[in-house]
C-alpha cells in the first residue's frame, strides 16, 4: 500500500495527508470519519501482513519438507499459501482445477516414465555398452561419460559414471575427477529437452521448450568451455579397451536416448500435441529399451526402485503452487517491491538453487514471482533466470550428486564445492551483469 506522508499546509488549522486509499483528513473533519479511515488503513496493513506471512511460511514449509519429499513439500506449501491468502472455496477450486487439467496429467505421466527408462537402460546394460564403445581420447571420455549418463534421472546416478571416471582417469586427482563427474553430468542436462526441470520450468513460464533451449545454448557453450579449460585441458592419453568395438552397442542406446526428444519435437511441430507429444516420445523410448534388451528385465522391481510416482507428483505439486500463487494477492505485493524484477529473480534464484540443491523447487517459486512483477517472461529473460538457478544447484553442498561423488572418491565435500565454484562463479557473474543490462 502506498501512503504519501508528505504534509501539505492548507491553512493555519488544516493539514491533509494525500495518498492511496489509506489517505485521511486532519482538519475540521468529524472524529468519526478520522476513525473510520484509520480503521480501513489498519485493516489493509493487516491484510498485507497476512499475505507476506503466508508467502514466507509457505516457502519455509517447502524448504523443510523438501528434505524428505519434494512433491509433498510443494503441495503443502501451496495449501499453506492458500490458507493465508484465499477463501477455502477458492483453494478447493484451484486444487480441483490442477488435478483435472489434462495437460498437467499428461505431463506428470511423461515425467514419471523418464526414470523408468533410466532403470531399464541400466539393468539391460545399454548404458554400459554405450560408454564402453566411446572410442576417443581420455579427456573426451571423462567429459562425455557423465554427460550421457546424466540424461536419465537415475537416483544416485552420479555413482554410475564415477567408476568409469575412476578407470579412465588414472593419475588424475580425486577431487578433479569428482568435479568433472558433477560438472559435465549436469551441463548437458541444462539444454536436454527431456530434462524434467527444464520441461516443468518452461511449462510454468508458458514458453516453448525448444525456443527456450535456443537461448540457453550460449550458456551451455560457455559452461563446456570453462569445464574444459578448468578440468580437462591438461589431461592427455587414450584409453585401453578390453573388448572389440561394436557399432550396434554404440548406436542402440544412442537411438533410445535420442528417440524421445526427436519424436517429441516432431509431434509438437506437426500435430501440436503439447504434453501428449512428450508422453508419446518417452513411451516409445521405454518400449525400445525393453524390446532391444538382451537381458531379462524385471519391470516391477525397476518401477519400485525408480519410484516414478514421486516424479509425477512433483509436477502436480509445482502447478498447484503456481495456480494458488496466481489466485492470491502476493503477486501484487511482490510487484510493488522497489527492486528490478530480473535482478531480484536472478539473485534469489541462485541463492535458492544453492540452498536447496534443486532446480524444480526454486523455479516453481522464482518464475511465478518474476511473472507477477514483470510484464512478460520471454525466452531471453527466462534463460538468464534459469541459468542462475541451475548453477546455484550445480555447486550446492546439499546437492545429492556432490555428496555421493565425494564419498566414492574419498574427497571432502567442500573440496568438490571449491573446485566447481571457479567456473560457476564466472557464469553467475556474467548472468548477473546481463540481468542488470537487461533492466
Residues 6+ apart with CB under 8 A from 250: 129, 130, 133, 134
Residues 6+ apart with CB under 8 A from 271: 277
In this prediction, residue 219 carries a pLDDT of 96
User: How many CA atoms lie within 13 Å of 247's alpha carbon, on the beta-carbon side?
Assistant: 0
Q: Are strands 25-26 and 15-17 parallel, antiparallel or unpaired?
A: antiparallel
In this prediction, residue 10 carries a pLDDT of 38
Exposure letters 323-334 (e unless 16+ CB within 10 A, then b): bbbebbbbbebb
H-helix or E-strand spanning residue 8: strand 7-9
Question: What is the pTM assigned to this prediction?
Answer: 0.72
Report which of 167, 163, 161 is spatially closest to residue 185, judged by C-alpha positions: 161
In this prediction, residue 5 carries a pLDDT of 34
Residues 6+ apart with CB under 8 A from 381: 342, 370, 374, 438
In this prediction, residue 19 carries a pLDDT of 41
The set of cell numbers assigned to 290 is 525393453
pLDDT (tens digit, 0 to 9) for every residue of the chain, 439 residues total?
Answer: 333 333 333 333 333 334 444 444 444 556 666 565 666 666 666 666 788 888 888 888 887 887 788 788 889 989 998 998 899 999 999 999 999 999 999 988 988 888 888 889 888 988 778 777 877 888 888 898 888 877 766 555 676 677 678 777 778 899 999 999 999 989 999 999 888 889 989 988 999 999 999 999 999 999 999 999 999 998 877 766 777 888 998 899 889 888 888 898 889 889 988 889 889 998 999 999 999 998 999 999 999 988 889 888 888 987 898 888 878 877 677 666 677 889 989 998 998 888 778 898 889 888 988 887 776 789 999 999 999 999 999 998 777 788 778 877 888 888 898 999 999 999 999 999 999 998 7
Using the structure block, give the residue that is written with the C-alpha cell 528417440. 259
Amino acid at each position: 500500500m502506498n501512503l504519501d506522508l508528505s504534509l501539505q499546509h492548507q491553512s493555519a488549522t488544516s493539514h491533509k495527508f494525500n495518498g492511496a486509499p489509506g489517505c485521511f483528513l486532519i482538519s475540521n473533519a468529524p472524529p468519526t470519519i478520522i476513525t473510520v479511515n484509520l480503521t480501513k488503513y489498519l485493516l489493509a496493513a493487516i491484510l498485507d501482513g497476512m499475505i507476506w506471512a503466508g508467502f514466507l511460511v509457505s516457502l519455509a514449509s517447502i524448504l523443510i519438507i523438501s528434505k524428505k519429499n519434494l512433491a509433498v513439500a510443494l503441495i503443502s506449501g501451496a495449501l499453506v499459501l492458500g490458507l493465508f491468502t484465499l477463501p477455502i472455496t477458492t483453494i478447493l477450486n484451484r486444487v480441483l482445477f490442477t488435478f483435472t487439467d489434462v495437460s498437467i496429467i499428461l505431463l506428470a505421466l511423461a515425467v514419471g516414465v523418464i526414470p523408468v527408462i533410466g532403470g531399464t537402460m541400466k539393468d539391460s546394460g545399454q548404458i554400459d555398452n554405450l560408454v564402453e564403445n566411446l572410442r576417443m581420447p581420455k579427456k573426451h571420455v571423462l567429459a562425455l561419460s557423465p554427460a550421457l549418463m546424466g540424461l536419465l534421472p537415475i537416483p544416485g546416478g552420479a555413482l554410475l559414471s564415477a567408476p568409469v571416471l575412476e578407470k579412465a582417469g588414472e593419475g588424475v586427482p580425486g577431487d578433479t575427477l569428482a568435479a568433472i563427474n558433477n560438472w559435465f553430468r549436469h551441463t548437458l542436462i541444462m539444454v536436454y529437452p527431456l530434462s524434467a526441470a527444464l520441461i516443468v520450468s518452461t511449462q510454468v513460464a508458458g514458453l516453448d521448450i525448444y525456443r527456450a533451449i535456443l537461448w540457453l545454448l550460449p550458456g551451455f557453450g560457455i559452461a563446456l568451455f570453462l569445464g574444459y579449460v578448468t578440468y580437462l585441458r591438461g589431461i592427455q592419453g587414450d584409453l585401453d579397451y578390453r573388448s572389440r568395438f561394436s557399432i550396434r552397442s554404440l548406436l542402440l542406446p544412442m537411438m533410445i536416448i535420442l528417440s524421445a526428444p526427436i519424436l517429441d519435437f516432431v509431434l509438437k511441430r506437426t500435430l501440436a500435441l503439447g504434453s501428449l507429444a512428450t508422453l508419446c516420445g518417452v513411451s516409445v523410448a521405454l518400449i525400445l529399451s525393453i524390446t532391444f534388451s538382451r537381458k531379462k528385465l524385471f519391470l516391477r522391481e525397476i518401477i519400485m526402485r525408480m519410484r516414478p510416482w514421486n516424479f509425477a507428483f512433483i509436477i502436480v505439486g509445482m502447478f498447484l503452487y503456481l495456480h494458488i500463487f496466481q489466485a492470491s494477492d502476493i503477486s501484487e505485493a511482490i510487484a510493488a517491491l522497489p527492486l528490478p524484477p530480473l535482478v531480484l529473480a536472478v539473485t534469489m534464484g541462485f541463492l535458492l538453487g544453492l540452498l536447496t540443491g534443486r532446480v524444480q523447487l526454486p523455479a516453481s517459486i522464482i518464475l511465478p514471482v518474476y511473472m507477477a512483477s514483470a510484464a512478460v517472461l520471454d525466452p531471453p529473460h527466462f534463460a538468464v533466470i534459469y541459468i542462475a538457478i541451475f548453477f546455484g544447484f550445480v555447486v550446492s553442498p546439499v546437492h545429492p550428486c556432490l555428496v555421493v561423488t565425494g564419498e566414492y572418491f574419498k574427497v571432502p565435500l567442500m573440496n568438490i564445492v571449491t573446485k566447481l565454484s571457479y567456473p560457476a562463479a564466472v557464469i553467475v557473474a556474467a548472468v548477473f551483469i546481463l540481468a542488470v543490462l537487461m533492466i
